[in-house]
Amino acid sequence: MDSILVINAGSSSVKFQVFEVDRAGTLHRQVQGQVDGIGSRPHLRANGANGDVLVDRTYPMESVAEVPAALGVARNWLRDELQIMPMAVGHRVVHGGPDYDQPVRIDEGVAKRLEAYISLAPLHQPHNLRPIRSLLKDFPTLPQVACFDTAFHRSHGPLADYYAIPKELYAEGVRRYGFHGLSYEYIANALPAVAPEIARKRVIVAHLGSGASMCAMKDGRSVESTMGFTALDGIPMGTRPGQLDPGVVLYLIMEKGMPPSHVQDLLYKNSGWKGLSGVSNDMRELEASDDPYAILAIEHFTYRIALSAGMLASALGGLDAFVFTGGWVRTRSMSARAFCSAWLGWASASISRKIRFTSSALRATGVRCRPMFFPLMKR
Protein backbone atom coordinates (compact mmCIF):
# COMPACT_ATOMS: atom_id res chain seq x y z
CA MET A 1 0.00 0.00 0.00
CA ASP A 2 1.06 3.60 -0.54
CA SER A 3 1.64 5.23 2.80
CA ILE A 4 2.85 8.45 4.38
CA LEU A 5 4.85 8.63 7.62
CA VAL A 6 4.27 11.65 9.88
CA ILE A 7 6.89 12.50 12.53
CA ASN A 8 6.82 14.81 15.55
CA ALA A 9 10.25 14.64 17.15
CA GLY A 10 11.01 16.03 20.60
CA SER A 11 13.97 15.92 22.96
CA SER A 12 13.10 12.59 24.57
CA SER A 13 10.52 11.09 22.21
CA VAL A 14 9.70 10.56 18.57
CA LYS A 15 5.96 10.36 17.88
CA PHE A 16 4.88 8.93 14.56
CA GLN A 17 1.82 7.94 12.57
CA VAL A 18 1.38 6.06 9.32
CA PHE A 19 -1.44 6.88 6.92
CA GLU A 20 -2.58 4.72 4.02
CA VAL A 21 -3.39 6.66 0.85
CA ASP A 22 -6.31 5.22 -1.10
CA ARG A 23 -6.96 5.68 -4.83
CA ALA A 24 -8.97 8.84 -4.17
CA GLY A 25 -6.08 10.36 -2.24
CA THR A 26 -7.88 10.03 1.11
CA LEU A 27 -5.73 9.31 4.16
CA HIS A 28 -6.56 6.48 6.56
CA ARG A 29 -4.50 6.16 9.74
CA GLN A 30 -3.04 2.69 10.17
CA VAL A 31 -0.45 3.10 12.92
CA GLN A 32 0.05 5.54 15.79
CA GLY A 33 3.07 5.18 18.04
CA GLN A 34 6.10 6.67 19.69
CA VAL A 35 9.58 5.91 20.94
CA ASP A 36 9.98 7.64 24.29
CA GLY A 37 12.53 7.54 27.09
CA ILE A 38 15.35 8.29 24.64
CA GLY A 39 18.67 8.12 26.47
CA SER A 40 17.12 6.77 29.65
CA ARG A 41 14.52 3.99 29.28
CA PRO A 42 13.77 3.64 25.55
CA HIS A 43 10.32 2.30 24.91
CA LEU A 44 8.61 1.62 21.58
CA ARG A 45 4.85 1.37 21.61
CA ALA A 46 2.28 1.58 18.84
CA ASN A 47 -1.39 0.92 18.14
CA GLY A 48 -3.26 0.00 15.00
CA ALA A 49 -6.23 1.65 13.35
CA ASN A 50 -8.65 0.03 15.81
CA GLY A 51 -6.56 0.81 18.88
CA ASP A 52 -5.11 -2.68 19.11
CA VAL A 53 -1.57 -2.91 20.50
CA LEU A 54 0.92 -3.65 17.74
CA VAL A 55 4.12 -3.40 19.76
CA ASP A 56 5.20 -2.65 23.34
CA ARG A 57 8.94 -3.11 23.61
CA THR A 58 11.82 -1.71 25.67
CA TYR A 59 15.46 -1.30 24.63
CA PRO A 60 18.81 -0.90 26.41
CA MET A 61 19.59 2.74 27.17
CA GLU A 62 22.81 2.76 25.15
CA SER A 63 21.10 1.46 22.00
CA VAL A 64 18.68 4.42 21.77
CA ALA A 65 20.68 7.33 23.11
CA GLU A 66 19.58 9.99 20.60
CA VAL A 67 16.70 10.97 18.33
CA PRO A 68 18.20 9.46 15.11
CA ALA A 69 18.54 6.11 16.87
CA ALA A 70 14.91 6.30 18.01
CA LEU A 71 13.85 7.07 14.45
CA GLY A 72 15.84 4.05 13.31
CA VAL A 73 14.03 1.82 15.83
CA ALA A 74 10.64 2.96 14.57
CA ARG A 75 11.67 2.78 10.92
CA ASN A 76 13.10 -0.74 11.25
CA TRP A 77 10.01 -1.98 13.08
CA LEU A 78 7.69 -0.53 10.43
CA ARG A 79 9.77 -2.03 7.62
CA ASP A 80 10.66 -5.44 9.08
CA GLU A 81 7.48 -6.34 10.94
CA LEU A 82 4.73 -4.41 9.14
CA GLN A 83 6.38 -4.23 5.70
CA ILE A 84 5.70 -0.49 5.54
CA MET A 85 7.99 1.63 3.39
CA PRO A 86 6.53 5.14 3.20
CA MET A 87 6.48 6.98 -0.10
CA ALA A 88 6.88 10.32 1.73
CA VAL A 89 7.47 11.73 5.22
CA GLY A 90 5.85 14.76 6.85
CA HIS A 91 7.49 16.57 9.76
CA ARG A 92 6.23 18.99 12.37
CA VAL A 93 8.71 21.87 12.52
CA VAL A 94 8.07 24.53 15.15
CA HIS A 95 9.66 27.60 13.54
CA GLY A 96 9.43 28.52 9.87
CA GLY A 97 10.77 32.03 10.34
CA PRO A 98 9.86 34.72 7.80
CA ASP A 99 10.60 32.39 4.90
CA TYR A 100 7.88 29.75 5.12
CA ASP A 101 4.15 30.37 5.34
CA GLN A 102 3.05 26.96 4.03
CA PRO A 103 4.36 23.37 3.92
CA VAL A 104 7.56 22.99 1.90
CA ARG A 105 9.45 20.05 0.43
CA ILE A 106 12.78 19.69 2.21
CA ASP A 107 16.16 19.70 0.52
CA GLU A 108 19.61 20.58 1.79
CA GLY A 109 18.98 24.29 1.29
CA VAL A 110 15.71 24.25 3.23
CA ALA A 111 17.30 22.27 6.06
CA LYS A 112 20.09 24.84 6.39
CA ARG A 113 17.62 27.73 6.46
CA LEU A 114 15.61 26.00 9.19
CA GLU A 115 18.77 25.50 11.25
CA ALA A 116 19.10 29.29 11.36
CA TYR A 117 15.99 29.40 13.59
CA ILE A 118 17.33 27.05 16.27
CA SER A 119 18.05 29.95 18.63
CA LEU A 120 14.40 31.08 18.31
CA ALA A 121 13.02 27.69 19.40
CA PRO A 122 15.86 25.87 21.22
CA LEU A 123 13.54 23.40 22.95
CA HIS A 124 12.01 22.21 19.68
CA GLN A 125 13.80 23.14 16.47
CA PRO A 126 16.97 21.04 16.97
CA HIS A 127 14.90 17.93 17.70
CA ASN A 128 12.52 18.60 14.79
CA LEU A 129 15.52 18.76 12.45
CA ARG A 130 17.34 15.64 13.62
CA PRO A 131 15.07 13.10 11.89
CA ILE A 132 15.07 15.32 8.79
CA ARG A 133 18.87 15.24 8.71
CA SER A 134 18.92 11.51 9.37
CA LEU A 135 16.57 10.75 6.49
CA LEU A 136 18.36 13.15 4.13
CA LYS A 137 21.53 11.20 4.82
CA ASP A 138 20.13 7.66 4.65
CA PHE A 139 17.35 8.15 2.06
CA PRO A 140 18.22 11.25 0.01
CA THR A 141 15.55 10.61 -2.63
CA LEU A 142 12.69 10.08 -0.15
CA PRO A 143 10.34 13.10 -0.32
CA GLN A 144 10.15 14.98 2.99
CA VAL A 145 7.78 17.85 3.75
CA ALA A 146 7.99 20.30 6.67
CA CYS A 147 4.77 21.67 8.20
CA PHE A 148 5.27 24.71 10.42
CA ASP A 149 3.69 25.78 13.71
CA THR A 150 4.23 29.40 12.68
CA ALA A 151 2.56 29.19 9.25
CA PHE A 152 -1.08 29.49 10.38
CA HIS A 153 -0.37 32.90 11.92
CA ARG A 154 1.16 34.41 8.80
CA SER A 155 -2.29 35.85 7.99
CA HIS A 156 -1.68 38.50 10.69
CA GLY A 157 -1.65 42.12 9.62
CA PRO A 158 1.20 44.53 10.43
CA LEU A 159 -0.50 45.75 13.62
CA ALA A 160 -0.19 42.26 15.08
CA ASP A 161 3.17 41.40 13.52
CA TYR A 162 5.37 44.39 14.35
CA TYR A 163 7.17 45.20 17.58
CA ALA A 164 7.68 48.86 18.50
CA ILE A 165 11.39 48.68 17.75
CA PRO A 166 13.37 49.99 14.76
CA LYS A 167 11.63 48.75 11.63
CA GLU A 168 14.90 47.48 10.14
CA LEU A 169 14.78 44.61 12.64
CA TYR A 170 11.45 43.49 11.20
CA ALA A 171 13.11 43.06 7.81
CA GLU A 172 15.69 40.85 9.53
CA GLY A 173 12.91 38.62 10.89
CA VAL A 174 12.39 40.08 14.37
CA ARG A 175 8.61 39.99 14.46
CA ARG A 176 5.68 38.29 16.19
CA TYR A 177 5.21 34.84 14.68
CA GLY A 178 2.87 32.89 16.95
CA PHE A 179 3.11 29.12 17.46
CA HIS A 180 0.98 25.94 17.86
CA GLY A 181 -0.33 26.72 14.40
CA LEU A 182 -0.86 23.07 13.44
CA SER A 183 -3.20 22.68 16.39
CA TYR A 184 -5.08 25.88 15.58
CA GLU A 185 -5.34 24.96 11.90
CA TYR A 186 -6.93 21.66 12.87
CA ILE A 187 -9.44 23.41 15.11
CA ALA A 188 -10.30 25.87 12.34
CA ASN A 189 -10.94 22.97 9.96
CA ALA A 190 -12.90 20.93 12.52
CA LEU A 191 -15.23 23.67 13.80
CA PRO A 192 -17.50 23.74 10.70
CA ALA A 193 -18.50 20.14 11.49
CA VAL A 194 -18.57 20.49 15.29
CA ALA A 195 -20.19 23.91 15.67
CA PRO A 196 -21.05 25.34 12.24
CA GLU A 197 -22.98 28.28 13.66
CA ILE A 198 -19.83 29.83 15.13
CA ALA A 199 -17.09 28.35 12.91
CA ARG A 200 -16.70 31.54 10.84
CA LYS A 201 -17.30 33.93 13.73
CA ARG A 202 -15.07 35.38 16.49
CA VAL A 203 -13.41 32.48 18.30
CA ILE A 204 -10.64 32.26 20.89
CA VAL A 205 -8.78 28.93 21.01
CA ALA A 206 -6.71 28.11 24.09
CA HIS A 207 -4.03 25.48 23.43
CA LEU A 208 -3.26 24.49 27.02
CA GLY A 209 -0.48 22.06 27.72
CA SER A 210 3.04 22.17 29.07
CA GLY A 211 3.53 24.50 26.13
CA ALA A 212 0.56 26.87 26.05
CA SER A 213 -0.74 29.70 23.92
CA MET A 214 -3.99 31.28 22.75
CA CYS A 215 -5.18 32.34 19.33
CA ALA A 216 -7.90 34.73 18.16
CA MET A 217 -9.58 33.44 15.00
CA LYS A 218 -12.10 35.12 12.73
CA ASP A 219 -13.54 33.47 9.64
CA GLY A 220 -11.27 30.50 10.39
CA ARG A 221 -8.07 32.58 10.14
CA SER A 222 -5.60 33.66 12.81
CA VAL A 223 -5.97 37.33 13.76
CA GLU A 224 -3.79 37.50 16.86
CA SER A 225 -1.79 35.18 19.13
CA THR A 226 -0.33 35.35 22.62
CA MET A 227 3.05 34.07 21.43
CA GLY A 228 5.51 36.23 19.53
CA PHE A 229 9.11 36.05 18.32
CA THR A 230 9.82 32.88 20.32
CA ALA A 231 7.78 30.29 22.17
CA LEU A 232 8.58 32.01 25.50
CA ASP A 233 5.89 34.66 25.18
CA GLY A 234 2.24 34.75 26.24
CA ILE A 235 0.70 32.75 29.07
CA PRO A 236 2.79 30.80 31.64
CA MET A 237 3.76 27.25 30.69
CA GLY A 238 5.24 24.19 32.32
CA THR A 239 8.80 25.54 32.33
CA ARG A 240 8.47 28.84 30.40
CA PRO A 241 7.40 32.14 32.00
CA GLY A 242 5.13 33.56 29.31
CA GLN A 243 4.88 37.36 29.15
CA LEU A 244 7.89 38.92 30.85
CA ASP A 245 9.19 42.49 31.08
CA PRO A 246 12.38 42.58 28.95
CA GLY A 247 13.91 44.51 31.83
CA VAL A 248 13.97 41.27 33.83
CA VAL A 249 16.34 39.78 31.25
CA LEU A 250 18.52 42.88 31.39
CA TYR A 251 18.57 42.69 35.19
CA LEU A 252 19.62 39.03 35.16
CA ILE A 253 22.48 39.76 32.77
CA MET A 254 23.67 43.15 34.00
CA GLU A 255 22.97 43.01 37.74
CA LYS A 256 23.08 39.29 38.50
CA GLY A 257 25.90 38.65 36.06
CA MET A 258 24.19 35.65 34.50
CA PRO A 259 25.68 34.49 31.18
CA PRO A 260 23.15 34.49 28.30
CA SER A 261 23.24 30.68 28.19
CA HIS A 262 22.16 30.54 31.86
CA VAL A 263 19.38 33.04 31.22
CA GLN A 264 18.21 30.89 28.32
CA ASP A 265 18.13 27.80 30.55
CA LEU A 266 16.26 29.73 33.25
CA LEU A 267 13.59 30.98 30.85
CA TYR A 268 13.14 27.79 28.83
CA LYS A 269 13.65 25.09 31.45
CA ASN A 270 13.21 26.44 34.98
CA SER A 271 10.43 29.02 34.93
CA GLY A 272 6.67 28.78 34.43
CA TRP A 273 4.70 26.46 36.69
CA LYS A 274 7.94 24.74 37.72
CA GLY A 275 9.73 27.91 38.75
CA LEU A 276 6.79 29.59 40.44
CA SER A 277 5.62 26.55 42.38
CA GLY A 278 8.99 25.03 43.19
CA VAL A 279 7.10 21.74 42.96
CA SER A 280 6.64 20.54 39.39
CA ASN A 281 5.89 21.44 35.79
CA ASP A 282 3.16 18.77 35.73
CA MET A 283 -0.34 20.16 36.32
CA ARG A 284 -1.47 16.89 37.90
CA GLU A 285 1.27 17.09 40.52
CA LEU A 286 0.43 20.71 41.22
CA GLU A 287 -3.22 19.85 41.79
CA ALA A 288 -2.27 17.00 44.13
CA SER A 289 0.02 19.25 46.18
CA ASP A 290 -1.06 21.29 49.22
CA ASP A 291 1.91 23.63 48.81
CA PRO A 292 0.54 27.21 48.62
CA TYR A 293 2.90 27.99 45.77
CA ALA A 294 1.50 25.08 43.77
CA ILE A 295 -1.95 26.64 44.18
CA LEU A 296 -0.51 30.03 43.25
CA ALA A 297 0.98 28.56 40.06
CA ILE A 298 -2.42 27.19 39.01
CA GLU A 299 -4.20 30.45 39.78
CA HIS A 300 -1.50 32.48 38.05
CA PHE A 301 -1.79 30.30 34.94
CA THR A 302 -5.55 30.63 34.75
CA TYR A 303 -5.49 34.34 35.63
CA ARG A 304 -3.17 35.01 32.70
CA ILE A 305 -5.47 32.98 30.45
CA ALA A 306 -8.33 35.30 31.41
CA LEU A 307 -6.24 38.43 30.86
CA SER A 308 -5.16 37.16 27.46
CA ALA A 309 -8.75 36.32 26.58
CA GLY A 310 -9.64 39.99 27.12
CA MET A 311 -6.80 41.08 24.85
CA LEU A 312 -7.77 38.63 22.11
CA ALA A 313 -11.47 39.53 22.37
CA SER A 314 -10.45 43.15 21.82
CA ALA A 315 -8.52 42.18 18.68
CA LEU A 316 -11.64 40.36 17.43
CA GLY A 317 -14.03 43.16 18.35
CA GLY A 318 -16.08 40.77 20.48
CA LEU A 319 -16.36 37.06 21.19
CA ASP A 320 -18.71 34.30 20.01
CA ALA A 321 -17.00 31.10 21.20
CA PHE A 322 -14.15 29.82 23.36
CA VAL A 323 -12.35 26.55 22.56
CA PHE A 324 -10.11 24.60 24.94
CA THR A 325 -7.62 22.11 23.54
CA GLY A 326 -4.18 20.64 24.28
CA GLY A 327 -2.55 18.27 26.75
CA TRP A 328 -3.66 20.13 29.88
CA VAL A 329 -7.28 19.53 28.87
CA ARG A 330 -6.54 15.81 28.47
CA THR A 331 -5.32 15.58 32.09
CA ARG A 332 -8.87 16.45 33.22
CA SER A 333 -7.46 19.01 35.63
CA MET A 334 -10.62 19.85 37.49
CA SER A 335 -9.37 22.53 39.87
CA ALA A 336 -7.38 24.30 37.16
CA ARG A 337 -10.39 24.18 34.86
CA ALA A 338 -12.62 25.54 37.62
CA PHE A 339 -10.21 28.44 38.20
CA CYS A 340 -10.10 29.11 34.47
CA SER A 341 -13.88 29.06 34.13
CA ALA A 342 -14.23 31.38 37.11
CA TRP A 343 -11.81 33.95 35.72
CA LEU A 344 -13.67 33.85 32.41
CA GLY A 345 -17.00 34.56 34.07
CA TRP A 346 -16.98 38.09 32.60
CA ALA A 347 -17.46 36.58 29.15
CA SER A 348 -20.14 34.05 30.03
CA ALA A 349 -23.05 36.19 28.89
CA SER A 350 -21.57 36.96 25.48
CA ILE A 351 -20.04 33.60 24.53
CA SER A 352 -22.43 31.42 22.60
CA ARG A 353 -20.39 28.20 22.77
CA LYS A 354 -17.64 26.82 25.00
CA ILE A 355 -15.95 23.84 23.41
CA ARG A 356 -13.35 21.47 24.80
CA PHE A 357 -11.32 19.25 22.46
CA THR A 358 -9.67 16.29 24.14
CA SER A 359 -7.27 14.70 21.65
CA SER A 360 -3.56 15.37 21.14
CA ALA A 361 -2.00 18.66 20.19
CA LEU A 362 -0.70 17.60 16.79
CA ARG A 363 -3.96 18.11 14.95
CA ALA A 364 -2.50 18.15 11.46
CA THR A 365 -1.96 14.39 11.56
CA GLY A 366 -5.71 13.84 11.19
CA VAL A 367 -6.44 12.62 14.70
CA ARG A 368 -10.14 13.03 15.42
CA CYS A 369 -11.43 14.37 18.69
CA ARG A 370 -14.76 14.55 20.47
CA PRO A 371 -15.94 17.99 21.54
CA MET A 372 -17.32 18.40 25.04
CA PHE A 373 -19.28 21.36 26.40
CA PHE A 374 -19.36 22.88 29.85
CA PRO A 375 -20.64 26.16 31.33
CA LEU A 376 -18.47 28.98 32.53
CA MET A 377 -18.94 29.76 36.22
CA LYS A 378 -19.32 33.25 37.61
CA ARG A 379 -16.56 34.30 40.01
Please give the positions annotated as active site.
149
Q: CB-based contacts of 1: which residues, under 8 Å, 6+ apart?
A: 20, 21
Q: Residue 303 CA to chain centroid, in angstroms?
A: 21
What is the edge-to-edge ordering of all strands in the sheet holding 353-356? 221-225, 213-218, 202-207, 321-325, 353-356, 372-373
Q: For residue 89, what are the β-bridge partners?
A: 5, 144
Give the sign of the dihedral formed by CA 337, CA 339, CA 343, CA 346: positive
The two beta strands, 202-207 and 144-148, are unpaired
In the three-class reduction of DSSP (H, G, I as helix; E, B as strand; rest coil), residue 202 is classed as strand
Q: CB-based contacts of 29: which residues, under 8 Å, 6+ apart?
A: 17, 18, 19, 20, 49, 365, 366, 367
Side chain identity at residue 116, one-letter code = A
Please, are residues 355 and 373 in contact by the beta-carbon 8 Å criterion?
yes
Instruction: Give the CA-trace dihedral at 365, 366, 367, 373, to 10 degrees.
Output: 120
Please, are residues 207 and 238 in contact by the beta-carbon 8 Å criterion?
no
Task: For residues 133 and 377, give the distance between their C-alpha atoms in angstroms, rounded to a whole number.
Answer: 49
Please, are residues 377 and 338 in contact by the beta-carbon 8 Å criterion?
yes
Which long-range contacts link 166-173 to residues 24+ away (Cβ below 8 Å)?
A: 173/97, 173/98
Q: For residue 280, what are the β-bridge partners?
A: none
Task: For residues 111 and 96, give the distance between their C-alpha atoms in angstroms, rounded to a whole number.
Answer: 11
